[in-house]
Structures are given as structure tokens and as C-alpha cells.
Structure 1
Amino acid sequence: MNGPHNGPGHDPGSALHATPSAFTESEILADYRAAFQIAQLPMALVGRSGQILIANPAFGRLLGIPLERLAGVRADTVTGLGLDGRTRGSYHAVLRGHSERMRCTRRLKHADGHTLWAEVTVLPTRCDDSAALLTVLDISERRDLQERLRHIEMHDPVTRLPNRALFFERLTSALADSATGRIGLCYLGLDGFKAINDTLGHRVGDQLLSAAAQRLAHCATGAGGHLVARLGGDEFAVLVEGSTGTEQLTRLAEKMLAALQRPFDLCGQRLAVSASIGVVERECASTTATGLMQAADTTLYWAKADGKARWTLFDPERNAHRMTRQSLSATLRRGVERGEFTLEYQPIVGLADDIVRGAEALVRWRHPQFGTLGPDRFIGLAEENGAIVPLGRWALIEACRQARRWQLDHPGRPLFVSVNVAVRQVWDSDLVSDVASALRDSGLPSGLLQLELTESAVMGSAGRPLQALQDLSDMGVRIAIDDFGTGYSNLAYLSRLPVRALKLDGMFVRGFRTARHLNPADETIVTSLVQLAHKLGLTVTAECVEGPAQAERLRRIGCDTGQGWHYARPMPADHMAALLAGRT
């Protein structure tokens, strides 16, 4: 059924087909020009030479320039397209018809002096009389909103200082472009802040942070406008982008310390805090943002460890030592697994007859990077990270095996081996089981094994450690107190502990070197300790015997055995075997 508009003879597409012929070219061009003139979007036609052919009123209003004055003006001068080479090249590529579009953001200047942010777009027109259509969109409000959001994103809400993100952005930029080629950093932590925050609450803590931030900002402004940022918690950083040397940084650190040491009056209370500051200054070319921050963090740690309320300058040698410690700590367990450790033995000699009675096993680390290391370089680290347990177990097994070999090779006199045991081995492992296994697997009689524990460890023993010592003694193992006289010196414990021997610390016998420098007090102390030990049924070994005068005095006093360079330095197992083979 035909509708009212599609009766017989009506072509629905006839109107469309007739449209092009319904308007003349001049009428279409007039419409385009009318649209161009009334459009709210600022526009201009640009000729092939880059001059404005015609601009619409919106374009003139945007820049505050009358239309008649815009004609013939170079478009890149009023829109900033010629300010940098990359943008200028893209713009001219469109004018020459080599590119389909270019767009950029520019800050433009209005005729009355104020500035605005605009998005400038250039499109080719492919017309005979013009090369491109230039449009300019005012994005000032959008830009302002973005900047406000960025400010919120990049600033700490408590102190209103730049936050960690903005700090690292500026730091990276400063490393790439420094006026002096150098950069400086003061990394600061408030001393005592946590106690204030925990006792008085976060509101007071936040007020303290804000007040401290104001003082730091004042110091930085007065010193040259350096960036002050809160990195988190009670930690702040002051970035000196064009450093002139360490003196500039240390002066700034002193100024900040003095500012923060003044009391803070907050919430009706007077609060006192101090600060610790790590100071780093170096060439930009030789560092990275990560490297600089690692150095600053390390130096702040030093400042706190050295007593707080001070600044500390980064020390490459001290840092190298720290890095070495970290490297050693991280590779200790793997070193045990890879067989990098070895034992040396120092003879323990009878003072009355100069006969070797035993040997102390001393651990050495043949480190692939740092060479052979003595126990003073790694035992403390091993105790800290727990590697002392597998290391101590290995030393025990190896010493028992070696002592058994000596016994078999030289059956005439029994030679005991003395092995150091750390307290952590008692707590973190089954020492009794480890010792029993080492003796059983090696075949060494229990009476030829002596375990040395420090006085400070043994004298406070109770519970599990004390039971372990008793069990070991019941097995026949000798228990000795090492470095006796330097720890608790609670002599009452000697009657309660299963101790068989005392090893006098070397500080007591150093004064015995010559009669000329003899300190009567040293001889009195050693004599008393030896007599007390003998009355309790203990033997006494003097450590650090370095000369014949010392050995003779100790023999006269009644010491049982001596150990030190006077007799022999620590030696490999095969040298010890040769020494034993030559004894009488």
C-alpha cells in the first residue's frame, strides 16, 4: 500500500540526487565563510608561506588582536609554533602537504598581558589559496585543574612539602642538568619522633611534622631555595641541585640541626626533638638517583648509630667496609656449602715441660673475592645471621676428624683438640647430638675434645644451655671457659658449672713481657685466678704468650698450659702433623 510520500512516479532518492545541482559553488563557499566567521572555535587559514590569510573573530578575541592586524602575520609567531625545532618541523611539513596533521600544547600571550594554555592543531586544506587550517582551543581551565590535581598528587598532605614522587622527579632532572655538574643531598630523620607520636597521638605527631617542615623549608630558602621534601614517616630530604661542594652541604646541615633543636610549642606542650642527617655530595656524572639515595640512607644510619643529633658525611671507605660486611654476610652459608672454609691449629703447650698437649682449631675463610679471612672478619656476622650453626657444625666435624688422625699417627701421647662454640649453637641446634655424631663418626674419644665457650655466655647459663653443658660433660667432653676474666667474673658459677678448664684472656699476661715493665697487679690477679682454679679442680691455659719471659712467669705462677706466638702461630693441619712428628 503506497503512503502519501511514495505514490506512483515518486523517487525517494531524487531529492538527494538533485541536491548538488540545487546550490551553486559560490553559495557553498559563502556558507563555509559564514560558518568560519560565526564559529566559536578560533580558526585561521594559513598560506603556504606561513602567513595568516584570514582569521575568524573568535581567533582575534582569544589573542586580543584585531582581525585586520592578524592578516599577513606569521602564524607561528602568535601561536608559538616556531619556538622549538621539532614543533616547527612538524608545522612546516603540514604546510608543504607532507603531513596530515600536527597538534601541540602552547602557552600563548594575550594582548593585555595575561597568558593562556591552548591546544593548537594544524590541518592541510588542499586548496589553491591556502595551505592549512589552524585551530586554537583554550584549555586553560583544564590545564589549571590538571595542575591542581598534580599538586595534590605530588605533595604531602601533612606538611604540604613535595612528596617522594616529586622529589625523585626533581632528583632525576637535576642529575641530567646541573649548573655545576655536582649534586648534594641532606637526608634527615627526626630523633625521638616515634616516642612522641606513640605517647601523645598522631594529631600531635602531625603538628610536629608540619612545624619541623616549616623550619626546614625556612633553612633551605635562606640557603638558596633548595627543594625540601618529606619522603615518609619522620624522614625529610633537602636536594641541592647545583652543589658547590661538601662545605655548602655541611653548613646547611648545621643550620637545620640548630633550627630543629629549638623546642616546639604544640597543643599546650613544649616538645624537644633533634635530628640525624646523612650528607652526600658528588658529581652528577658518577652517580644515579638510586646510588645517591642508597648512599644517603647509609649515611643517615651512620649518623644515628654514632649517637644521633648530628650530621655525618658519606665516607667511601666506611661504605666499602659496610658493603664488604653485607657481601660476607650474604655468602656465609653458601661458603660453608661450597667448602670455602678451612681450619688452622695453634698448639697448646705444657708450661712445665714444653710438650704439646693439644691444639685449638681456628676457622679461616678462603673467600674467592677477599682472600683468606680470619674469624674476626666473619664470626660476628655468622652469629648475627645464624650461619654460625652450620659453620660451627662443620668445624666440629672437621676438628674431630683431624684429631683422630693425629691420635692414630701418634698414639704415644693423647692430643686433645679445642673447638670454639657460640651460644647460638646451643640455642639454635642440638649441640649435644652434633657432638655425639662428630665423635661417633670420627672415632675420637670424647676425652680428647674440648669445647670453648666465652665467659659471658657460660656465666649466665640456665635452662637448656646449662643442661646441654652438663650432658656434654657427662659424655666426657671437656668444657673450657674462653677469655676468662673479661666477662661477668661471677666466680660462684664455677662451682655449679661442669667446667674443666679456664683460658686466661691475653690482657692479663701482656704485662709479663719483661721484668722492667712488670705490673705487680697483673701478677697478683693471675696468681689468684690460678690458685682459685686449682682449688676448684680446674686447669688453666694462658693465652697470648708471646715471649720467654711471659712463659717463665706463668710457669712459676702455676699455669698449666700456654698458647701463643712464643710457641707457634696457627698452622695448617699438615704443619701440625709435622710438628707432632718431631716432638720428643
Structure 2
Amino acid sequence: MIRSFRGIGNLRRLAADPSDADELRRGEQALRMIDAVEEGGSGWFWQTDGEGRLTYLSDKVVRQLGVDRATGLPVTALFQIDSERPDTERTLGFHLSSRTSFAEYTVRPATGAPERWWSISGRPLFDEQGVFHGFVGWGSDLTEKRRSEAEIARLAMFDALTGLANRQRMRLSLDQTLAQTARSYRAVALMLLDLDRFKTVNDTLGHQVGDELLKQVGQRLVRTVGEHGLVGRLGGDEFKVILPSASNRERLSELAGNIIIALSQPYVVKGSSISIGCSVGIAVAPDDGGDAETLTRNADLALYAAKGDGRGTHRFYREEMLAGAQNRKQLEDDLRVALSGGQFHVAYQPLVSTSDARVTGYEALLRWEHPIRGAISPADFIPIAEDCGMIEAIGEWVLRTATSDAAQWPSDVRVAVNVSPIQFANPALPTLVANALVQSGIAPQRLELEITESVFLNESASSEAMFASLKALGVRLSLDDFGTGYSSLGYLRKAPFDKIKIDQSFVRGAAVAGNRNAAIIKAIVTLADTLGMETTAEGVETQDEIALIRELGCTHIQGWVYGKAIRHGEVLARADEGHTATPVGHRTSRPQRSKMLRWATLEIGGSRGEVRIRNLSTTGAMIDGVEFSGEIDGTTVRIEVGEGRMVSGVLRWAVNGQAGVEFLEPINLDRLGPPPKVRRAG
């Protein structure tokens, strides 16, 4: 129809000066259709003459372009193509000059008008003789669609909960930042953050409180980082910070410390005061990686190290961390075949009664004999087993093996088996324990389950139900490593423990004069007695500690003083001998010693001379460089242990130019200054 009337402009002129009734009728119908499209929707029309100047443009588009008139102006003076769109292989001017059709090109104002977007199409007009008369076309408004797309794109780049950049945007930003800095040879720092104790908040106070807490964390993080970098949330309680042009490790360390301090301050969420912590891993490009994947991996390794060093701290990436991660990965792979490959065995360490030195039980200790690496410490592979989800299968194997072995021991000898927090959280644990008891045939009271304080981090009704279920089986419960965790008296009141095991950190050095550990042990024993619980002192290594532990009231002793853990066959052999324990450890406790070679001044009876200190402890020193004659035991001396610091002591032995000095009062090794300077005559 438009072709018959040669465009919209001709329709308007025909309506103003009708000469043919039929054409007028058809023209009026066409105009009504055009008006309906222009006024009722987002569509509009345009037309040019043969010179490319507009002869018609819908009024609403003229208003949106902010011009007084459009007729007589070139199309390209009013519209410009969006060059970023993939549908613009050729320019608008090309099609107009080559007289070729085009469809759905995205254009925006070329007039400086407010941002607006249209889709425009057009085709050339020719009459019956093939004479070109210009272009006629149509368009539609894309502004709302483009805004919606932009909003969707924005939302796709931001975390819906905190409003921070999300994982995708952080990855794109890191890629772009690394590409830019590679050309300018500038450094880029990447921080990965993990909240400490956040899971406990979620589990105890609910996800709504956890979400609100994450919002506050994001706000504090943005305030602390400021304009120095981009802050994002990767998901859960993991956050990321990109710091362009940041290479000064002292400043990065300071910023990380400020972040940890800021995020560790108490929060108030829905009336609850909440305290959490934060660990930070830092990697710096290009030294720690030139691409996003490598840099992120190394920052994550640094974060792993920070969490492993006690949390609430930050660590920079070091090359040995990668070697450690590769070693852990290899251990994890080997661990998956160790159980089925028969590489594990259980060793048993005796639990000895302090009253009569009889073995009342054994603790089952897991041992791994690797076919290539040899013996691998549980401290190395147990955390890996917990991380990779193997600890439950391994723990069940230890439980079944230990109860089966114990079935062959005397009926009054117990077996103690460690239960990890992951096992404790499994509702199936009581069933597994019951099955092990049935299959082995041992009495329930002969099985003692050792549980660490960490199970109370998520203390809830399910924890109380687990304790009740285990006690209903008739097994004994022991609180392991008491004193190293939270040592809450509250859970001692609620949890039905039969025994408290005092951690070895309180036992070691307890027999040394001036040590306060003995008082702590006595307090724990008194508490346990009041609650009707037995006590076991762990890590006893010397015979004088046996006497002390007995004097302090502990009911049992465990440690190398009675030998290392032994195989099942040796346990059976000892059973035939009566199960009486004989001490094999050192007779006396040895105080902390520091091996060193430092010069010192020695005074004896008014004479002074230079000697060398080779061993130094809180109670004495071994020296050389001086010869003694006659009876020396008890001879009073003074010796310089620090710059200008003389302490008094007595000689206890001397042989071959070496001697032992016992101090009259213990010294603090941590407060020693630098070694005394050697004074030479001349």
C-alpha cells in the first residue's frame, strides 16, 4: 500500500487535496492504521527523499530526539548506530547510499538527547519505472527493553544478598585488571577471606540471622577497604578483595589486619550479640601468578594456611604452600585406597590405674603404614580424612577392629575409641556402635568413646539426643583433651561423661619447680570428683610425673612413661603376664633447654674468666672452656647469661673441660637479652 502511494508523506498530502475518491479512501484507511501504530504502541515510521533527507518522521520520535523539526535533515544527523551490538555489520549511511534494505538495526540519538534506544528498519522506494524515490521505514522503541537487559546484566554481576560484586563480576574484574597491569608492569593483590565460626551462627540462630550478619560483614568490609579495591562475595561466608597497583606487603599486611579487626568486632542482629572472626589469604601478581586462576589458587592456599595457623590471622602465599597442597592431594588420593588396601592397623596405648599400676584399658590409635612413604602421622592424615569425607568410614573400621580385638582381652580391660565431631553429628552413630558391640560380643561398659570439646561448638537438642542415645547403649563416655578448647562448665553439667582426660599440655612440666600446671591439674581433678567422674592424665613421660599425678588425685595415667602404643598381639602377651604396667620413661622431668654457643663471664671465688655456654635451661647451664680440680660439687659461682646479667649458682659436675651449673633460682629464658660480647685482653 505504501509502495502504491510512494510513501507516508504522499498519503498526508493526498488527504489534504483529494482528487481521486478511491485513492482517498484507501489513503485514509492507511493513515488510520499508521496513526493507530504511532499513537497506540511503541512503533513509528520514517521516510526520506531521493537525497536521503527526511520527509516524514513520527511526531513522538521528533519530540524524543529533542529537535524542532526533522524534515529536511539527513537520517544520520538524528540517529547513530550502536556499534557495540552484534547486528551492525554495516553502517546506516552505507545502506542509504547503496539503496539496500536493512532490518532491526539498534540506534540511539545523535542529537545529545537523553539516552534512548530504537530498533529501525528500512527499504528503498522505486516507482513502476524503477526510479528511486528515497527510503521508507519503521521502528520501535527499545528503551525499556534495553534498561531491563541492563538491569538483568547488573543483577547477574552483583550478589543479591549483600549488593557486593558476585563471583562472576569479580572474575571478570580480575581478568581485566591483570590484563591492564601486565601492560603497565604493575602489581595486583588478591585477598580471599573466610569468616570464622559463621556456621555456628547459622546452625544456632538460623539462616535469617546469618543473612543479616553477612550484610553487616559486607558493609564493614567495604568501609575498611574503601577506595583501595573492589570487594565481592563469592557465596556463603567467602569474600574477595581485588587491589590494583598494590604490591607493598607491609601496607597489605596492615590492611588485612584492619579487616580482621573490623570484622571481629561484635555484631548486633535481631537483639543478639554475635562475635565471629576472619582469616585472610593474600597473593600478589605477577610474582604469585599472572592469570586469574593461578592467583586465586595461591590466595586460597594462603587462606588455608591462615586458618591452619589458628584462624583470625592473615598469610601471604609462599611457594612451599603449593608443595604442601600437592602433598595433601597426593595423601588424599592414597588415603582412598589405604582402607581397602589393608594399610591401616590399630595400636593400643595402655591406660594405667594410679592406685595399683594395673592396666585398666587401652586407647585404640589408628596407624597408617604407607607402602612407599612408610609410617604417616595421624596429625597429617586425619584432617585430610575429615575434609574429604572419609573419616566416617575410617572411624567405623577402627570401632569394629578395636571392639573385635577387645573381645580377646580379659573381661575387666576396656577399650577406648576416638569419635570425631563429624561422626558424632551423624544420627546413625548409635546404630553403628550397637552393631559393633553385637558383632564383637563385648559388654557395653567395656567400650569407652572419647569425644573432644569441639562437638559442643554446635551444641543443640540433637547433641543432647546423641548423648542420651549413646548412654542408653551402656557405653562409657570420655571428654578428651580437656583444657585445650572451650572448657565450658556448662556442658560438663549437661553431658553424661564418665571421665575427663586432662590434656598433655598441662601434664608436661608439671613436676618442674615453679610450674603452675600442677595447680590446674588439681583443680580439674577436684571438679571431676565433685561430678563423679574419673580423670586420666595424658602425655605422662617421666617417672616423677607419675608420683605427682598420683598425689594430685588423678585416677589414671596415659603416656610414654609406660611405653609406646603396641599391636594387638603384644596386648595379648601382656594379658598373660598379668597386665601390670612398669615405667620405662625418664626418672626426672627435664626443664626447657636451649642449645646454643655463646660466650659468658664466669666468677669463682673472686676470679673471672670467659667460658662458653652450650646448653641453657631455666634451672641451669652446661659450660665448657674451663678446667676444675678437686671437689667441685656445691662450689658457688656467678655466670653471665645475658648482656650484663649475672646469676648465682653452684657447680654440680665437671669433666674434660665441661661443667654443669645449677642456678639458685630459675630464670626466664624468654627475657634473655643478646649474648654477652667476648672481652679479650689487648
User: What TM-score does the superposition give when structure 2 sets the normalisation length?
Assistant: 0.45
Q: Larger % of helix: which?
A: 1
Deviation of the 1:325 alpha carbon: 3.0
* Structure 1 SS opposite 2:55: strand
Change (3 A) 1:275 1:101: same
| Aligned pairs for 1:91-490 within 5 A | 91=92, 94-95=95-96, 97=98, 100-108=101-109, 113-121=113-121, 123=123, 125=125, 128-129=131-132, 132-133=135-136, 135-178=138-181, 180=184, 182-220=187-225, 222-224=226-228, 226-241=229-244, 243-244=246-247, 246=249, 249-283=252-286, 287-331=290-334, 375=375, 380-381=380-381, 488-489=559-560
RMSD, matched Cα: 5.8
Counterpart in 2 of 1:498? 573
Change (3 A) 1:276 1:282: same
* Structure 2 SS opposite 1:71: coil
Structure 1 counterpart of 2:69, from 67, 70, 79 = 67
Decide whether the 8 Å contact of 1:175 with 1:284 is kept in 2.
Answer: no
* Structure 2 SS opposite 1:66: coil
The whole-number CA distance in structure 1 between the counterparts of 2:123 and 2:231 is 45
Counterpart in 2 of 1:439? none
Change (3 A) 1:253 1:384: closer
Change (3 A) 1:241 1:364: same
Residues 511-546 of structure 1, C-alpha deviations (whole Å, 9 max, x = no match): 9xxxx99x9x9xxxxxxxxxxxxxxxxxxxxxxxxx
Aligned amino acid, residue 31 of structure 1: L
* Structure 2 SS opposite 1:278: strand
Decide whether the 8 Å contact of 2:48 with 2:54 is kept in 1.
Answer: yes
The whole-number CA distance in structure 1 between the counterparts of 2:323 and 2:135 is 63
Counterpart in 2 of 1:548? none
Aligned amino acid, residue 559 of structure 2: Y
After the TM superposition, which of the residue ranges 490-499 and 176-185 deviates more from structure 2?
Answer: 490-499
Aligned amino acid, residue 73 of structure 2: A
The whole-number CA distance in structure 2 between the counterparts of 1:364 and 1:192 is 35
Deviation of the 1:288 alpha carbon: 4.3
The whole-number CA distance in structure 1 between the counterparts of 2:93 and 2:396 is 77
Deviation of the 1:84 alpha carbon: 9.3
Deviation of the 1:306 alpha carbon: 0.9
Decide whether the 8 Å contact of 2:288 with 2:298 is kept in 1.
Answer: no
Deviation of the 1:298 alpha carbon: 2.7
Residues 343-368 of structure 1, C-alpha deviations (whole Å, 9 max, x = no match): xxxxxxxxxxxxxxxxxxx97866xx
Decide whether the 8 Å contact of 1:55 with 1:67 is kept in 2.
Answer: no
Aligned amino acid, residue 498 of structure 1: A
Q: Which has the higher contact order (CA 8 A, sep 6+)?
A: 1
Decide whether the 8 Å contact of 1:219 with 1:255 is kept in 2.
Answer: yes
Decide whether the 8 Å contact of 1:329 with 1:378 is kept in 2.
Answer: no
Decide whether the 8 Å contact of 1:100 with 1:123 is kept in 2.
Answer: yes
Aligned amino acid, residue 221 of structure 2: L
Decide whether the 8 Å contact of 1:278 with 1:303 is kept in 2.
Answer: yes
How many residues in Structure 1 have an aligned counterpart in Structure 2?
394
Change (3 A) 1:279 1:334: same
The whole-number CA distance in structure 2 between the counterparts of 1:48 and 1:378 is 88
Deviation of the 1:267 alpha carbon: 3.0
Residues 120-176 of structure 1, C-alpha deviations (whole Å, 9 max, x = no match): 445455675466556553222223333344444544343232333443444444445
Aligned amino acid, residue 79 of structure 1: Q
* Structure 1 SS opposite 2:283: strand
Deviation of the 1:193 alpha carbon: 1.9
The whole-number CA distance in structure 2 between the counterparts of 1:240 and 1:177 is 13
* Structure 2 SS opposite 1:207: helix
The whole-number CA distance in structure 1 between the counterparts of 2:287 and 2:146 is 33
Aligned amino acid, residue 65 of structure 2: L
Decide whether the 8 Å contact of 1:186 with 1:277 is kept in 2.
Answer: yes
Change (3 A) 1:190 1:243: same
Change (3 A) 1:28 1:102: closer
After the TM superposition, which of the residue ranges 134-143 and 99-108 deviates more from structure 2?
Answer: 99-108
The whole-number CA distance in structure 1 between the counterparts of 2:236 and 2:172 is 20
Aligned amino acid, residue 198 of structure 1: D
Deviation of the 1:202 alpha carbon: 3.0
Aligned amino acid, residue 142 of structure 1: K
Decide whether the 8 Å contact of 1:278 with 1:311 is kept in 2.
Answer: yes
The whole-number CA distance in structure 2 between the counterparts of 1:497 and 1:69 is 108
* Structure 2 SS opposite 1:317: helix
Counterpart in 1 of 2:55? 54
* Structure 2 SS opposite 1:190: strand
Aligned amino acid, residue 163 of structure 2: R
**Structure 1, unaligned stretches of length 5 or more?**
1-18, 339-361, 367-372, 387-421, 434-455, 468-482, 522-584
Q: Larger % of strand: which?
A: 2
Identity %: 24
Change (3 A) 1:133 1:186: farther
Aligned amino acid, residue 191 of structure 1: D
Change (3 A) 1:107 1:278: farther
Residues 322-344 of structure 1, C-alpha deviations (whole Å, 9 max, x = no match): 21331344257779999xxxxxx
Deviation of the 1:276 alpha carbon: 0.8
**Structure 2, unaligned stretches of length 5 or more?**
14-26, 342-367, 387-393, 406-415, 419-435, 444-538, 543-557, 594-613, 620-682
Aligned amino acid, residue 191 of structure 2: C
The whole-number CA distance in structure 2 between the counterparts of 1:30 and 1:102 is 23
The whole-number CA distance in structure 1 between the counterparts of 2:193 and 2:256 is 9
The whole-number CA distance in structure 1 between the counterparts of 2:287 and 2:109 is 35
Change (3 A) 1:155 1:193: same
* Structure 2 SS opposite 1:326: helix
Decide whether the 8 Å contact of 1:190 with 1:276 is kept in 2.
Answer: yes
The whole-number CA distance in structure 2 between the counterparts of 1:205 and 1:83 is 41
Aligned amino acid, residue 227 of structure 2: A
Aligned amino acid, residue 204 of structure 1: V
